[in-house]
């Protein structure tokens, strides 16, 4: 798989239980090959006219361009936030064997 077909998706969660549930859901449905759950961090943001600060957990989701739409739909359906962070970036390069693994783990027909 070419690195341009891979996607790294960022998504924050309000707590560890939500992060774990979303990660498992995405991998079980083959929408993601792997999801890393990063430890809690502090986020500062503007929401509804107020500056807010909250502890959040960051998900790093590995998927493909072809699975991104379905992954986004699943996050929107199951995420507790009204407006969840869903940001997808394309890597400029990657270990070819790892990229192939991402594709194999996110195949719809497997």
Confidence band (pLDDT; 50, 70, 90) for 2? confident
Domain membership of residue 93 (yes or no) is yes
- Residue 99 domain boundaries: 3-104
CA neighbours closer than 13 Å in the CB half-sphere of residue 69: 1
pLDDT of residue 109: 75
Domain membership of residue 86 (yes or no) is yes
The residue among 1 and 74 whose pLDDT is bigger is 74
Instruction: Quote the Cα angle for 64-58-17, to 5°.
Output: 105
The two structure tokens encoding residue 50: 């107020």
Residue 72's CATH number: 3.30.70.120
pLDDT of residue 102: 97
CA separation, residue 43 to residues 16, 52, 54 (Å): 15, 8, 5
pLDDT of residue 110: 60
The model's pLDDT over 43-58, given as tens digits with 9 standing for 90+, comes to 999 999 999 999 999 9
pLDDT of residue 72: 99
Domain membership of residue 109 (yes or no) is no
Domain membership of residue 30 (yes or no) is yes
Give the mean pLDDT of the chain: 97
Number of domain units in the chain: 1
The model's pLDDT over 27-37, given as tens digits with 9 standing for 90+, comes to 999 999 999 99
């Amino acid at each position: 798989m070419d690195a341009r077909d891979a996607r790294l998706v960022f998504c924050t969660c309000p707590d560890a239980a939500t992060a774990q549930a979303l990660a498992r859901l995405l991998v079980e449905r083959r929408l993601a090959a792997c999801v890393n759950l990063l430890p809690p961090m502090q986020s500062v943001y503007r929401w509804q006219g107020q500056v807010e600060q909250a502890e959040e957990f960051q998900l790093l989701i590995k998927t493909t361009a072809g699975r991104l739409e379905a992954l986004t739909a699943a996050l929107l359906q199951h995420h507790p936030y009204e407006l969840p962070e869903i940001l997808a970036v394309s890597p400029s390069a990657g270990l070819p064997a790892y990229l192939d693994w991402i594709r194999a783990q996110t195949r719809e027909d497997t």
